[in-house]
Amino acid sequence: MPVKSRKSVLFLRCPTCGKGSLFKNTNPYALNSVLDMNEHCEYCNEDFEVEPGFYQGGMYMSYIITSAMCLCLLPIYTALNFSREKFLDNAMYYISACAIMLVVTAPYIVRLSRAVWLKIHVKYFKNKES
């Protein structure tokens, strides 16, 4: 089923057609194959191996995504800890919550960062024929 351009990133689909899967195993929690990518799209033949070392840039995306996730937890933590003393005393809870969230979501974030990096560099053609 084709996915629209912006959603193709979230569903880890081909950035060009939104149909083909970027990864060989669609389950991100199959940890032995978390980084195994298809070489090209099965529908539009878009090349997923752009050049050697291309996905190193995905690390920057991963940093941005995980930072944003931790910042999203901050308003919740702030709402639960009004006073300054309480805010600082309970900082370990916030750090622990961030750590747990990042460990649980790490396989998906790794894949998502690669998908975002590829999406930035490949344009989406809605009606591209293979």
Binding site for Zn ion (CB under 5 A): 14, 16-17, 20, 41, 43-44, 46
Q: Apex CA 9: angle with CA 129 and CA 98, to 5°?
A: 175
Closer to Zn ion by CB, 44 or 69: give it: 44
Closer to Zn ion by CB, 43 or 77: give it: 43
Tell me the CB-side half-sphere exposure of residue 21, using CA atoms within 13 A.
Answer: 10
Q: Distances in Å between the alpha carbon of 2 and those of 14, 16, 18, 20?
A: 9, 10, 5, 8
What element of type H or E holds 75? Answer: helix 58-80
CB of 46 to Zn ion, least distance (A): 5
CB of 42 to Zn ion, least distance (A): 7
CB of 124 to Zn ion, least distance (A): 10
Closer to Zn ion by CB, 8 or 62: give it: 8
93's CB contacts (< 8 A; 6+ apart) are: 77
Closest CA to 48 of 59, 58, 38: 38
Closer to Zn ion by CB, 16 or 62: give it: 16
C-alpha span between 77 and 117 (Å, rounded): 30
CB of 107 to Zn ion, least distance (A): 23
